[in-house]
Amino acid sequence: MQTTILEQRAEQIHRKGDAPFSISCDKESLAGAVSQRACVFCGSRVVLYPIADALHLVHGPIGCAVYTWDIRGALSSGPELHRLSFSTDLQEKDVIFGGEEKLYKALVELIDRHQPKGAFVYSTCIVGLIGDDLEAVCRKVSKEKGIPVLPVQSEGFKGNKRAGYEAACKAMFRLVGKGDTSSISPHSINILGDFNLAGETWLIREYFERMGVEVVANITGDGRVNDIKRCHGAALNVVQCSGATMDLAKMMKDKYGTPVIRVSYFGIEDMSEALYEVARFFNDPKMLERTKNLIREELAVLTPRLEKYRGALKGKRAAIYVGGAFKAFSLVKAFRLLGMKVVMVGSQTGTKEDYEELEEITDDGTIIVDDSNPLELSAFLKEKDVDIFVGGVKERPIAYKLGVAFCDHNHERKEILAGYRGMLNFAKEVHASVTSPVWRFVPRRNK
């Protein structure tokens, strides 16, 4: 029996095979539906947060800073200033008389105390309403302190989470082009859209360095202000989370002519293709040979270890709901490699092109959903009798309340899921979760 959904949501849900493909996306969340999607401010914070030697100051009520405190499990190889959550803590008096003076004093005090390489100042809903001039305050402090102080125009009411990505990219782009590029290798890239969850950026950098490729800047996992300043000197931008950082890549292409490729580091197939695509771009036979050897070595270790999980997982059903749709492509392929079937897949910020690609790679009967809410997700999980649900922190309670195994593939996880090592970790986690004996005690499964 198919799930009953709200009439206004019908255009954002597609069942493959029932009708020609059509889906609506990138629209405002339906009021009252309690969407899993976050606001513009949150979108900007998740992109910029991992820049570890920058000061991050939220200009607004304390709740906004608390909501996004340590929002990503983004590790740093050095400074950890990003893990502190600073706020101007606007009160009623500030709403009436304005908060610019409070913002100025906060910036001066924090810069003197922490000596950051730069500062990002996030605008929240209330700041947009009262009209504080962030640009003027940031310009004044930047002149006085001699570091870039960048306003992030991220008022929550201006749009959805995807608009926050754009606001973050616009703020970062003001850093680009300010650094020295003379020492950068011709075989160089920027890693865009990986946020170093559990140290994944370090693993990906290691792969590229084994190929003979210099990584100029991580944007933004384990990010540094000075690296972003000189990232325009790289020969290629390699974009992983396309929704979050593609706007920056497009800006760099328009101004500096930097070519762009889209990749994914999740799953064997996409990780290998990402490395090959970079090697093919540089058209260096020696680099291509090193890449082949790297992949051959990694697969020789990984493939036999995956086999012991495939038998127990074959035929199990999986559901996916993630922030950016690009990650979902790799997850569909990874589940297929494990012998599992994806019966539902969705995202918070997917584009029409993203969903068209998902429709191409999924099986008939798969539910494809944009900007879903807890009631819909719960209904789909029950309808499809799902064995495991992949999502983020907001989806975890949905799975556990229904007696469904869960895999965290979002901001808070502490285990590498990217690269070849990540594929093994993913298989282990899925296997342990799906085959746990606890599910025998769930009433829904006592058939």
Q: For residue 11, is it within any domain?
A: yes
- Do residues 367 and 317 lie in contact, with contact meaning Cβ atoms separated by under 8 Å? no
Q: Do residues 89 and 129 both lie within one domain?
A: yes
Domain span holding position 53: 40-173
405 in the same domain as 328: yes
Residues 22-68 pLDDT 10s: 898 877 776 666 676 778 998 899 999 999 999 999 999 999 888 77
- The CA distance from 320 to 410, in Å, is 11
Whether the Cβ atoms of residue 319 and residue 365 lie closer than 8 Å to each other? no
Is 270 found in the same domain as 323? no
Indicate if 250 and 142 belong to the same structural domain.
Answer: no
Q: Residue 378: exposed, middle, or buried by beta-carbon count in 10 A (0-12, 13-18, 19+)?
A: middle
Alpha carbon of 77 to those of 45, 131, 228, 241: distances in Å?
A: 20, 38, 16, 21
* Count of other CB atoms within 10 angstroms of residue 306: 18
* CA–CA separation, 281 and 15 (whole Å): 37
Q: Cα(415)–Cα(342) distance, rounded to whole angstroms?
A: 23
The pTM score is: 0.92
Letter string b/e over residues 247-279, b meaning 16 or more CB atoms within 10 A of that residue's CB: bbbbbbeeeeebebebbbbbbbbbbbebbbebb
The answer to whether residues 167 and 194 belong to one domain is: no
The closest of 195, 246, 245 to 220, measured between CA atoms, is 195
CA 111 – CA 262 distance, rounded (Å): 36
CATH number of the domain within which 274 lies: 3.40.50.12380
Same domain for 287 and 206? yes
Helix 325-337 with 268-282: angle, nearest 10 deg: 120
Cα–Cα distance measured from residue 92 to residue 98, given in angstroms and rounded to the nearest whole number: 10
**Do 212 and 237 lie in a common domain?**
yes
Same domain, 165 and 202: no
The residue from 244, 261, 292 where one domain ends is: 292
Please report the pLDDT score of residue 242 as a whole number. Answer: 66
End-to-end C-alpha distance for the chain, whole angstroms: 17
Residues 240 and 143 in one domain: no
Residues 103 and 226 both lie in one domain: no
Same domain, 47 and 163: yes
Can you give the CATH number for the domain in which 406 is found? 3.40.50.1980
- Whether residue 180 is contained in a domain is answered as no
Q: Which residue has the tokens 């996004």?
A: 68
326/330 Cα distance (integer angstroms): 7
Task: Tally the domains of the chain.
Answer: 3
**Whether 186 contacts 207, CB under 8 Å:** no
Residue type, 22: S
Q: At what angle are helices 134-145 and 100-114 packed, to 10 degrees?
A: 30
As given in the structure block, the two tokens for residue 312 are 């127990």
The secondary element (H helix, E strand) that includes residue 367 is: strand 367-370
Decide: 238 and 263 in contact? Cβ < 8 Å.
Answer: yes
Residues of the chain with confidence (pLDDT) below 70: 1-4, 30-34, 36, 241-242, 444-447
The tokens describing 126, both together, are 């209330």
Asked if residue 436 is part of any domain, the answer here is no
The pLDDT, as a whole number, for residue 349 is 83
Q: What angle do CA 260, 280, 188 make, to 5 degrees?
A: 55
Residues 44 and 167 reside in one and the same domain: yes
CA–chain centroid gap for 45, Å, is 11
